[in-house]
């Protein structure tokens, strides 16, 4: 068999581990070959590709980013894009395409499968918001980075008796904020799923400081939203694909806390630091398991599916299920996070 692979959407630690795993399993397990398309779907549409073998993947396991490059270009957004993909995959005799991506890339993969193309998906995103899989690789790495940052902020916050606002990624779901807030001992955590009242946030900060010389850490997901009738945020700018460019809500929250409480406040926006660099051991293992499973799914002709983690096992689920909705925070976890609010 001859397998195509692409990585689409925002990058994430562990993408190279998936590429390596697919190549290894296809070549050594199934006696096949692999071609990597550059910059996501763009590489398929424009036939920009590179042959991959085990030798070419040496050293990839711990490397962050994706050696194939990535983009948000999708065949449905390009005139003749779907036909071009069909023609290129046919001309290259590609048995099936392994599509490694988040919400946007996997939705497109599902549509392309509906168009008759043989596709197997692999979920990736630091946001951990893909349905049908317990976790996505990249998430654990992002949580480690955010937690380490919070730990460091605690000591400087305590020295100055300050309020530290830490903004983490999380566009539609607060998984990173909830986990890092819990692991880092946040005074309060703000997530997209639960609109916040800034006055209540200030009250928690006051309560924490009233108990002694206690600094506080406010963790906020970039996609957090103020409750109706409280503060208003400006409309975000859109990127060239129509996606809102988030990031910066932490500045507003810090300014509000500063003016409403009189405590000295500072803000740290972690941004893309959470997406860069080497994946944790957990993410390397998860990415590797998903890559091996995706290669096996191609060999079994199990198209229109996505490799997923379910209760410790790797299983194939319908792509349709994975893109049917976004996985938001689980109520039980959120309740546990709230137990530790001041």
Catalytic residues: 127
Binding to ligand F6P (CB under 6 A) within 204-233 occurs at 222
**Which of 196, 226, 193, 188 has the alpha carbon at shortest distance from 330?**
193
Whose structure tokens read 């050594």? 28
DSSP structural state of residue 194: S
Binding of ligand F6P at residue 130 (CB under 6 A)? no
Element (H, E) at 41: helix 41-45
As measured in angstroms, the least distance from the Cβ of 146 to ligand F6P is: 12
Contact between 169 and ligand F6P per CB under 6 A? yes
CB of 249 to ligand F6P, least distance (A): 11
Q: Interface with ligand F6P by CB under 6 A: which range of 111-119, 167-175, 294-302, 308-316?
A: 167-175
Q: Which is nearer to ligand F6P, 10 or 291 (CB)?
A: 10
DSSP, residue by residue, 119-177: EEEEEB-TT--BTTSS--BTHHHHHHHHHHHHHHHHHHHHHHT-EEEEEE--SS--HHH
Q: Judged by CB, which is closer to ligand F6P: 2, or 172? A: 172
With CB under 6 A as the contact rule, the residue among 171, 209, 252, 289 that binds ligand F6P is 171
Among 36, 170, 181, 250, binds ligand F6P (CB under 6 A): 170
Closest separation in Å from C-beta 10 to ligand F6P: 4
Rounded (5°) CA angle 276-124-253: 60
Q: Is 10 an interacting residue with respect to ligand F6P (CB under 6 A)?
A: yes
Quick one: DSSP state of residue 77?
G
Minimal CA–CA distance to 71: which of 128, 133, 8? 8
Paired tokens of 90? 């046919």
Q: List binders of ligand F6P among 247-276 (CB under 6 A).
A: 275
Which residue stretch of 42-50, 124-132, 178-186, 296-304 sits at the interface with ligand F6P (rule: CB under 6 A)? 124-132
- Considering the complex, state which of residue 20 and residue 171 has its C-beta at the smaller distance from ligand F6P: 171
């Amino acid at each position: 068999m001859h397998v195509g692979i692409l990585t689409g959407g925002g990058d994430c630690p562990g993408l190279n581990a998936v590429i390596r795993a697919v190549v290894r399993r296809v070549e050594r397990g199934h006696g096949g070959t692999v071609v990597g398309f550059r910059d996501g779907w763009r590489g398929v549409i424009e036939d920009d590709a590179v042959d991959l073998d085990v030798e070419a993947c040496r050293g990839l396991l711990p490397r962050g980013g994706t050696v194939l490059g990535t983009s948000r270009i999708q065949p449905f957004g390009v005139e003749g894009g779907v036909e071009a993909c069909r023609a290129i995959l046919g001309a290259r005799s590609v048995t099936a395409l392994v599509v490694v991506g988040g919400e946007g890339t996997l939705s497109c993969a599902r549509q392309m499968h509906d168009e008759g193309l043989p596709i197997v998906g692999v979920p990736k995103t630091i946001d951990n918001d893909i349905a049908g899989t317990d976790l996505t690789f990249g998430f654990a790495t992002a949580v480690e980075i955010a937690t380490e940052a919070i730990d460091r902020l605690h000591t400087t916050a305590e020295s100055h008796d300050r309020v530290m606002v830490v903004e983490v990624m999380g566009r539609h779901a607060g998984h990173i904020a909830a986990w890092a807030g819990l692991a880092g001992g946040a005074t309060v955590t703000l997530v997209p799923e639960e609109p916040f009242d800034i006055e209540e946030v200030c009250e928690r900060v006051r309560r924490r400081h009233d108990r002694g010389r206690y600094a506080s850490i406010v963790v906020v997901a970039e996609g957090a939203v103020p409750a109706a009738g409280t503060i208003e945020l400006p409309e975000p700018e859109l990127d060239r694909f129509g996606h809102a460019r988030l990031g910066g809500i932490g500045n507003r929250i810090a300014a509000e806390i500063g003016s409403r409480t009189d405590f000295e406040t500072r803000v740290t926006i972690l941004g893309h630091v959470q997406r860069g660099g080497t994946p944790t051991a957990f993410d390397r293992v998860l990415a590797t398991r998903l890559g091996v499973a995706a290669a096996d799914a191609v060999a079994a002709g199990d198209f229109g599916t996505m490799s997923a983690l379910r209760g410790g096992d790797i299983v194939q689920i319908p792509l349709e299920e994975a893109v049917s909705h976004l996985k938001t925070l689980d109520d039980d976890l959120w309740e546990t996070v709230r137990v530790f609010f001041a």
